[in-house]
Structure 1
Amino acid sequence: MLLFLITFFSFWHLNLDFSNIVFLDTLMVILLTAISDNIRVYLNKKNRLVSNTVGFIYAFILGPEYLLISSIIILFSRTKHPEIGRKIYRTLIFSASYSLAAVFSYGYNPLLSIFLFLTFSKIINSIFVEGFKEFELKIFLYEYFYFLSLLPLTYLYTLTIDFGFKYTIISLNVLILILFYLMIKLETDKSDEKLRNIRIGKLNRVIGTLSNIIRDLSLKVPGEKVLDHIAEIFNTSLGYEYVLISLFDYRKNEVIRVTQRGIDQEKYEMIKNTFTPISEVMKFIEEKYQYGDTFFIPNADKINEAYTFQPRDVVNVDYLSENQNLWDPNDLLLLILRDERENMVGYISLDSPESGLRPSKEELDILTVFARLVSLALEHSQKFLEIKDQSERDILTGLYNHSKLFSDLMSYEHNKDKIFLVFIDLDDFKNINDRYGHKYGDEILKRFSQILLQSLRGNDKVYRYGGDEFVIILENITKENVVKVINWIYDDLEKNNLGITFSAGVSFTDESPENYKHIVEIADEKMYQSKKSGKGQIIE
């Protein structure tokens, strides 16, 4: 409102009179204002040169009516923020600055008037835009020097009578602006080169540290130390203030916090002891956020809103000047960790980069490489193997367990593999436990598990689903041969005289091509049909 009032009363005081407006002068004002305002010249990552002075200084010497025309043109300029509210605010900033400067500058000889207009407009603009807290003398003097560089040709314009020559002279101010643009661009290119060298140096340090980790692995350094090394790299070498490494326990459907950097210990303990289901993380694993094995989710608290952010290819000085590239406290950066079968086994969460910037595509590509190296390191670390083995193996039988089954099904579904699934349930196993005791029952389960492993092909997988229930996954096989495999198991069971039978149901991925987990339920239902049919049966 203040800017509007300043603009209104300044133009009111200037007594606008549009009766003497010249069409060619108006066209020239529009062209110079539009061209100069759309030449972006950044002095640093947050200060843009007031380039439209080229148009406004010409408007000033023609009269206050032309200042108003220039102000209106600003409203239609191309800007980073197309919202109408932001455009109106920007227009009021310049119209208030230049109109108020004009109030103090008219009424003197041309040279002094031009000098005063350039001086006052720069001072007023700095007050409106930067205020006193963000005022930088170096930036002010540089920009003021640019303003004053427009004075000679503008004054020469007032002394020239020939119209063609007058327009040529005033147009040369655009060349001065372009000269400043080239000077700053040269400096920017040097800064870009310096920025690249810094980043390359940082990358070399990280690669060196990672090589030390690989060496530690070969020396069988404890896994906990390896994980701490990895967290330390991202914290100190890559400059992320907060680092959290987590692994998945599919059996419990739980995210296990392993190590961290930068987080207050009390807060970390609270995070560590809070149950977080794997599904809570998986909701962020969407293709629109993915860059290799890295997922960047801007404003993760608003994931249901339209996704508009597109990371730039590389980081340069121009990248630093755009607000959309600034890191937001709600941004989420995840590096996915995978096992040798490309299954997700955990992730690294990175927050608050020292640059204060969101990652570029270049950085996301580098982070993907790091994620794969970390996956390799974790894959061989004692801690990872301990957690992975715990989450994949059944303690009693040594077979794969329930969580491993669903992890593999996710992998099969992702790759669109064709598989058969056999659901097995031992018949009347409860009677064995009741009659001979659970210890004897456990021995039967272990011996039956060994029979399954001995009867199957090398690439078949066997899981203890729970209790006396087992699941077999078979690849590259026909339905007829699946039945043959199950009959082999029956034959081996009879040879070993365990005195038990089982019922089985068979399902195929074509029965639920969009949800492989559902084929477990399908096979389970067929198994129960088998039991109702007299037990010891196979339902295909």
Structure 2
Amino acid sequence: MVYIIISVVLLLILFYVFYGGIKTAIYVRRIANEKDKPSAFTPPSPKKVIRERFKSSLFETAITCLENKVEKDCALEAIIEKLPLFLKADSWSFLITPSDDVWRFLFWSKDLDFLPLEELALEIQINGEHIKEVIDTKKVLFIKDTKKNSLWNQKHSLSKSWLGIPIMVKNEIIGVLNVDWFQQVKVSPFEKELINYFLEDVDRVIKTVFSLNELFLSSDLDILTQAYNRKALEKYISQHKSDSSKKAVIFLDYDNFKKINDNFGHTVGDQALKVLTKRIQNSIKSDDLIFRYGGDEFVIIINEITENNSIDIIIQRIKSTVKTPITFNDILIISSISIGYCLVPKEAPDIEKAIEIADKKMYLEKEI
């Protein structure tokens, strides 16, 4: 009697599974294109189902970010972190690797928040052979045992296994996604397949939903603050060497900004820098220009300035807006800036010389 009951139960399970497979195949056929339709009673491939679900989750995240008007860099973070989460990584980070500028971490997992990330990025730019291998080959690189791999030069890293993934737009690398495990792991063949699918899908999401290719490849904007970057400043200087119009060049530096990163973490520091930059942009005219010179240093070019008292008014306005406290996740941040300025052509013959003079004046104020 017991055997009969067991047999009946097994038959019911088999029928349920078989019937479910047929239903799934029917629904898949309804959705798929004619040329891609599977044969009538073939259940969908598990790999294909996982890939399609993964792809749809990327688009769902992108659409949610757009609906909630999330800033582009935060939206990109939400998309890129999907893969490390799927791979059950212990930590991850996204390193921006421009060929003609300083490398920097754009975002990272919370457990890396209190590391000296600016210093680490500079160290990797010099000695990071594992990252350079990813950039040169434009291929995924998996290092199973970092201690035994000749490309791995990070002496104080906790990573035992590491995966480097090139993030590309229009076949140009914008950065490398670092996926780290604190114990040795294996990446299965299917996971490697999924990673390659992920790269295709991220490229598609970026181009289709956010159009970030202009931001990363052809734009002169700093990714974090949306101010112009150092490259844009150099371009501006070269284009205005013979410009004799009256301008003011302001060089500013945030006071003790490193303490914000040390006390509250780089995430809070980055958010504060974004807010403060936006405030400064709102306190100058639309045809004036603000450039991120490096770290927490900025250069502002004010057009049509003729008198010192006019620039003094602008500087006081900038200082006032920066002093207003920032609240971020129940953290109160109060900051200040040191500023130096130089008038062109009254005090310097061109923008390049004016930046040098304004920089020196800024440091004199900081010392005072």
TM range (shorter): 0.3 to 0.5
Higher RCO (CA-CA < 8 Å; seq separation 6+):
2
Structure with more of its chain in strand, by fraction: 2
Which structure carries more helix by proportion?
1
Largest Rg, 1 or 2: 1
What TM-score, normalized to structure 2? 0.39
Q: What is the TM-score with the length of structure 1 in the denominator? A: 0.27
